[in-house]
Amino acid sequence: MTNAIDEVRRFLKKDDLPGAVRSLRPHAGSAPIPELAKAARALADAAGFKDLAGAAGVAAERPGEPQALYDFGYACVERGVAFLAVAPLREALRLLPDSRPLLAELVSALEDENRHTEAAALLSGRGGALPAWPETYLLVHHTLLAGDLDTAERVGHGLPAPEDPQWSGAHDRQIRRLARTGRARRARSAAGHAVPLGRTDLRGWHYGLTGGLLGTLSPYGWDAGMTGRYAYLGDTHEQCRHGLARLALALEAAGRRPGTVSLLPGRSDRILGLAAARVLELPAVPYEPARTDTLVVAYDLNAADPDLVRTLHARVDGQILSEHATCWTDPPAVSADFSALLCQFVSPPWKDDRRPEEEIALDIAAAAAGADEGDGATPPDPDEDFRAFVAAVATDWLTAPRDRVASPGPVPSSRFA
């Protein structure tokens, strides 16, 4: 670990704080806690995080004190370096195995790292003494995100309603996710999938967890760890047009016909919205939160005004939210009803195109709508399969609030660090 600290300091001397953080990841689960805490303090000092620096300093001096370990772990979670919190919190829980706050904070750290299988194992290992709220709720939550739908359904269906109203919303969301995921699995089974909702069924899990339809799968890097998602996408007019074609297919298969296309104020949103209006042969109108029977079109919700995005959480009658490029590593504040694709970073095809929005929208509408053939390693994704999936889940689609889901769920994909 001394070498790791030296490496952290080497990065910090170059003012490369992200590099220093990355250099600690391989050591977070194996380094002695005092050394880990010293390295974390160096990072915190460089970042100006006095709370984390102080907690790390105390933990380095008192690695056998549960409170010091808890404070260190808590500060790591709060400052966005949850991977550094796991080891001290595990040790604190070993010292105080009956502590519910320690258990909750360790589960929180594992969740921030999308280590759902570990979180589920930690909670299930407590046995029959596990309280219903929030511990058993969290067990169901992490079991589902880890991909074990059978266990999540079995435990979740036996979970009583919470007595504390602060958990009522979470309980309702969990019930909806279990119901949607079960429906997605039945749809996949009826369509003849060999492993319904397996670890590569990105579309099925995306619907179950978010309530949104995933229009297309990335045709690149399937067998190199991407499993249908993009890392960096240099977008094209053809890709946008293909997404709109899948959106039209989804609306048709679900029996939905909005009366207008609502244009969000961002330039990229307006370009894609105008293209959607032309493709769907609908009038384009300015976005108004209370407008009913309309298709709201976004290019990238993370690039939109946060206050505006929040108005899209509560569902308005007949309102459908479509997003072209949904970020799967940092999901937007609301889950779109339809996502054309999932990516980590996207560069719009009109980034350097200063022509009027209407002209660019015409180019998109006139572009070829067929799928990119890709690298030839991605399983086929024909229109017929997508149409059948939409038809099978249509009764549940557009029936719940657009809750944000921070986790990518049980389907793994490679990402930029």
pLDDT tens by residue, 83-106: 999 999 999 999 999 999 999 999
Phi, psi of 84, deg, nearest 5: -80, -15
pLDDT, one tens digit per residue, over 149-179 is 999 999 999 999 999 999 999 999 999 999 9
Spatial CA neighbour of 85 closest among 113, 50, 117, 58:
113
The order of strands in the sheet holding 320-327 is 213-214, 338-343, 320-327, 294-298, 260-263, 284-286
How far lies 289's CA from each of 294, 303, 314, in Å? 10, 18, 10
Q: Point out the residues of the chain with pLDDT beneath 70.
A: 1-4
Separation CA 111–CA 308 (nearest Å) = 28
pLDDT for the residue numbered 195: 77
Q: What is d(CA 378, CA 341) in angstroms, rounded to the nearest whole number?
A: 15
Joined tokens for residue 405: 């889901």
∠ CA 7-11-15, nearest 5°, is: 160
> How would you label 38-65 residue by residue, b for 16+ Cβ within 10 Å and e otherwise?
bbbbbbbebbebeebbebbbbbbebbee
pLDDT at 1: 43
Helix (H) or strand (E) holding 88: helix 86-95
pTM, whole model, 2 decimals? 0.95
- Does the bond joining 134 to the residue before it have cis omega, within 30 degrees of 0? yes
**308-317 long-range contacts, CB within 8 A, separation 24+:** 308/264, 308/265, 309/333, 309/334, 310/334, 312/402, 313/401, 313/402, 313/403, 314/401, 315/398, 315/399, 315/400, 315/401, 315/402, 316/289, 316/290, 316/291, 316/292, 317/292, 317/293
Q: Which of 61, 135, 64 is nearest to 98 (CA)?
A: 135
d(CA 286, CA 282): 13
Q: Is 163 exposed, middle or buried (0-12, 13-18, 19+ CB in 10 A)?
A: exposed
Half-sphere exposure of 169 (CA within 13 A, CB side): 5
Q: How far apart are the first and last CA of the chain?
A: 21
Q: Is 68 exposed, middle or buried (0-12, 13-18, 19+ CB in 10 A)?
A: buried
- How many other C-beta atoms lie within 10 A of the C-beta of residue 234? 12
Q: What is the DSSP letter of 301?
A: G
